[in-house]
Structure 1
């Protein structure tokens, strides 16, 4: 045993503003204990002391806490609905300057996918995506825009040819796509949410939170959307109480603010 986990959670919150109470405890504690073991540390107290004084270990810890499994056009069938139904409806409703927020954007695959998908409907100069994540390290990776072959496997061939350049075994996304995304640090559990969004995309992230934290996040997304705006969630997620929150379910993973 590594000691008092309750105290550890408080210490982590004081250091990082990440509230471990919002995560499913068994799963999260197991992951943290594994990381602490890898660092040859035998107690939570010693580990807190380590991440306080060692910047690299601190970044490693935050990076380890955040779940970064990402790829371009993840679940292509859902992106097809976005392309053929959701984008045209939003443009008809809100015009050409659509405010899009990619929440918990990880390594940038999702916001860059959004820009490419929307470029079939609007000129790039009209497109702006706000992309946020709690993890500085993944945001740096996102800004770099360099991906492996597996990450971009689902990108439509025409867009792959147009917007990616092969660099060794990797693929670099073009600057014209990069320019359309603004990356910012953001904690879904404590920071203010953007307002007046026409589309919020937050996929396969909320599954890691407790039911209370999920409800709070979905309530905040609802407030964050403009009337008639759409929330796009992941294929591993469900919003059981979407009616109580005020959403209309358009398709399996698309919810409109009524």
Structure 2
């Protein structure tokens, strides 16, 4: 704890306004992000910035956008998706029932739409013909629902799989209505909110690396509890679950775990 800790003052104000506990995140990373934002608005003192956030909804919205990590893309880490499809086909063949899939930190939606494309192209049925997708950030969920992506941030859709569901228009790439109808977006706080239950697959990539060790343990336990027996958990390229048996999980491939108990 720092003397005269203005970041702690800001954190208290931010939690009162949003319910989000910044102490669940690694302080060095989150403080750096938010202090840069306060300096941008010519308020280098975080306590002062907290008072301004109380009075200005636009600043509060900007803070929420700054503290969430929205880095994603279609088919990010392509080799991972090959493994994903292989494991999912095996799971479906064994259980022979429509799949319940949740993209648990979907950001602007590219990951969820990637899963929807892969399920459709590989004849893997979804329960109620939809998969779940969620994020903490309301504005980023709105972007995901809109399904429009700029040319600057989205790689060219030159594969047949892409072109079937995504069209190139003057303002960017547009996800088809058919694909949008296959994803149900919502707002979920992974720390505090309840999770969808009895999932066959949960994708939680490149999120837990930003949390403290204590918070990660809580989330891994909740993720495991949300899986069906033998359900799959898909984590990010920089993440590893140490002692997965602690959470009733078994490693089945790099970045993939199966609920074993």
TM-score, normalisation: structure 2? 0.92
Deviations 1:136-191 (A, max 9, x none): 01001101101134654386701111011111251000000000111111111111
Kept in 2: contact 1:70–1:151 (CA 8 A):
no
Residue in 1 that maps onto 2:108:
107
Q: Which runs of 4+ in 1 moved over 6 A?
A: none
1:173 equivalent among 172, 175, 185 = 175
Structure 2 vs 1, CA of residues 150 and 79 (structure 1 numbering), >3 Å: closer, same or farther?
A: farther
Counterpart mapping for 1:117-136 below 5 A = 117-122=118-123, 127-136=129-138
1: distance between equivalents of 2:36 and 2:204?
27
Kept in 2: contact 1:107–1:142 (CA 8 A):
yes
2: distance between equivalents of 1:2 and 1:160?
53
1: distance between equivalents of 2:151 and 2:91?
32
Kept in 1: contact 2:104–2:202 (CA 8 A):
yes
Residue in 2 that maps onto 1:256:
258
Deviates more, 1:229-238 or 1:142-151: 142-151
1:219 equivalent to 2:189? Answer no
Aligned length: 257
Deviations 1:193-224 (A, max 9, x none): 11100000010111111111111111100000
Structure 2 vs 1, CA of residues 155 and 252 (structure 1 numbering), >3 Å: closer, same or farther?
A: farther
1: distance between equivalents of 2:190 and 2:169?
34
Superposed displacement of residue 19, structure 1: 1.0
TM-score, normalisation: structure 1? 0.93
Deviations 1:16-64 (A, max 9, x none): 1111111111121111110001011242232222222222221111011
1:87 equivalent to 2:88? Answer yes
Superposed displacement of residue 98, structure 1: 0.6
Kept in 2: contact 1:102–1:132 (CA 8 A):
yes
Residue aligned with 1:119, SS: helix
2: distance between equivalents of 1:112 and 1:130?
11
2: distance between equivalents of 1:154 and 1:230?
30
Structure 2 vs 1, CA of residues 224 and 241 (structure 1 numbering), >3 Å: closer, same or farther?
A: same
Kept in 1: contact 2:103–2:133 (CA 8 A):
yes
Residue aligned with 1:204, SS: coil
Kept in 1: contact 2:9–2:50 (CA 8 A):
no
2: distance between equivalents of 1:72 and 1:136?
20
Kept in 2: contact 1:189–1:217 (CA 8 A):
yes
Contiguous gaps of at least 5 residues in structure 1: none
